[in-house]
A and B are shown apart, each in its own frame.
Chain A
Amino acid sequence: MPERIVVPFGPQHPVLPEPIHLDLVLEDETVVEAIPSIGYIHRGLERLIEKREFTEYVYVAERICGICSFMHALCYCQGIEEIMKIEVPDRAKYLRTIWSECSRLHSHLLWLGLFADGMGFENLFMRSWQLRESVLDVLEDTTGGRVIQGTCKVGGVRRDIGAEKLDEMHRALDPFEEQCRELGDIFLNDDTVKYRLQGLGVISKDEAYALGAVGPTARASGVAMDHRETGYAAYGDLGFKPVVETAGDCYARCAVRVKEIYASINLIRQAIDQMPEGPLDVKVKGTPDGEYFSRVEQPRGEVIHYLKGNGSKHLSRARIRTPTLANIPPLVKMLPGAQLADVPVVVLSIDPCISCTER
């Protein structure tokens, strides 16, 4: 029996933008066990809810994560709206959908870039981020912030997108989609990428479901689970279908994200086409009293904001479960059997967002 050694991986590692630590137990070069550990950037944002008014906490919720910031705000607002029985105007719902999908686009393009960098394809990394930049420009033009949008509020949205800008966005979608397909083609069809990713970090459908995997990690294993199917915001009107792959390896997780980029472009196109006229927000009266588990599909999977109000303007508890926390158990099951050199790629394939996870 070969000798076992423990190799610490992270919290500082070139492929990790954020600190997660894994203790890898190796037999020769093969991983036999992985033990995760987080806790380097715990900020206690959940407790901050007791000090901030429920309308102000949107800004805090948005800053939980720098990538899915809009979706955190959306999830929080939807939770409060559900508790207070606020009906959001249609136009606000559509605008929320557009911004959500823009966030998803830029998150997936960011991830594709990081992933390409992780597997050593730096040229592709640059190209992904070049495309991402155009999404960020649209977000800045429409909301005023590149990654922290600040447009979602309890009861609606804070800004409108004018008809002219919507037209411009619609016209820009076709060339953008063409560029994305060119990029996706490299990820999906290039042999170098395939050799690197196929059969790596496999997790079966049953395993993924039992371990509570969410988002692209679950969908790549064939679990057709996407919270957008419940039709929150405007997704109910847009004919949404989840993207599912069956192989369950790193390549499938990559393919899900590439195809979700196409799906997102399509959703934005439809949302612009069907954009209703009307008011942007409703006036919020009273204070939240009650509890709700608000769920939204983020680029990384399903996020949960558990909100509990006690009738005062400060909520008594917010509990935020981010997708990466749910994806850590699948990651631990994926790693055994992988080579040490493949560990960075496998870890990246769940799209870890650690500052989000620790809140």
Chain B
Amino acid sequence: MGIFQMTKTVLRNLFGGPATRQYPAVPARTSSLTRGHVAFEPSTCRSCGICSRRCPCEAIHLDKEAKVWEINRMRCIACGDCVEGCPFGSITMEQTYLPPVVEHVVERYTITYVKPEKPAKKPAEESTGA
């Protein structure tokens, strides 16, 4: 026979305090792996374009000529494939979620990476042309 099966749990819950948290006053629980949003560092990107080719939802666009890196936040699914693919560590995954918005967000970054001067091995005519 069971009629008051739930009683123990109910009493414990009654005196045990809330199981939820007062979000947003208390921030949501995250872990070190949480895929919140993709962050971009324009100073280290060498415009290889791997991220834009790997992105399964085509959220990332790279204009090599204009040196512009764009991410469409509405398309991005935060899968982290670009983060894994980036050979220069320019793309990172942040733990925080972006706030809700009411219009489409396309973030643009101008790549500021400057190719370091090659240590001149051959002081030939080639370097003057480049």
Residues of A within 8 A of B (CB): 52, 56-57, 59-60, 63, 123-124, 127, 130, 133, 137, 140-145, 148, 150, 158-159, 182-183, 185-186, 189-192
Contact = CB atoms under 8 A, between A and B. Distances in A.
A198 to B, nearest CB: 13
Given A127-B13, A144-B31, A59 B6 contact: no
- Which of A133, A140, A141, A144 gathers most chain B CB within 10 Å? A144
Contacts of A158: 84
A127 B8 CA distance: 12
Contact of B77 (A59, A137, A140): A59
Contacts of B3: 190-192
Contacts of B1: 191
A345 B34 CA distance: 36
Interface string B53-81: 01011000000000000000000010111
B33 A182 contact: no
Nearest to B95: A144
Contacts of B35: 144-145, 150
Given A59-B56, A144-B34, A144-B35, A124 B79 contact: no
Contacts of B84: 158
B108 to A, nearest CB: 24
A106 to B, nearest CB: 15
B29 interface: yes
| Nearest 5 Cβ contacts at the A-B interface | A144-B33, A56-B56, A189-B2, A190-B5, A141-B31
Contacts of B19: 130, 133
18 contacts: A59-B57, A59-B81, A60-B56, A124-B6, A127-B9, A127-B13, A140-B33, A140-B34, A144-B31, A145-B34, A148-B77, A150-B79, A185-B2, A186-B6, A186-B9, A189-B2, A191-B1, A191-B3
Interface in B5-46: 5-6, 8-10, 13, 19, 29-31, 33-35
A55 to B, nearest CB: 9
Looking at chain B's contact residues, the main secondary structure is loop
Interface of B: 1-3, 5-6, 8-10, 13, 19, 29-31, 33-35, 54, 56-57, 77, 79-81, 84, 93
Given A150-B80, A186-B5, A191-B3, 9 more contacts: A56-B56, A123-B6, A140-B33, A144-B31, A144-B33, A145-B35, A185-B5, A190-B2, A192-B3
A143 B9 contact: no
A315 B3 CA distance: 56
Contact of B80 (A123, A140, A144, A191): A144
A141 B95 CA distance: 12
Contacts of A159: 33
A59 B59 CA distance: 14
Contacts of B9: 123, 127, 182-183, 186
B2 A143 contact: no
Contacts of B33: 140-144, 159
A237 B33 CA distance: 29
A59 B79 CA distance: 8
Contacts of A190: 2-3, 5-6
Contacts of A191: 1-3
A63 B31 contact: no
Contacts of A148: 77
B92 to A, nearest CB: 13
A185 to B, nearest CB: 6
B121 to A, nearest CB: 35
Contacts of A143: 33
Nearest to B9: A127
A155 to B, nearest CB: 14
A164 to B, nearest CB: 12
Nearest to B34: A144
A144 B93 CA distance: 10
Nearest to A194: B2
Contacts of B34: 140, 144-145
B56 A52 contact: yes
Nearest to A63: B77
Contacts of A145: 34-35
A59 B58 CA distance: 12
Nearest to B1: A191
B53 to A, nearest CB: 10
Contacts of A189: 2, 5
A238 B106 CA distance: 48
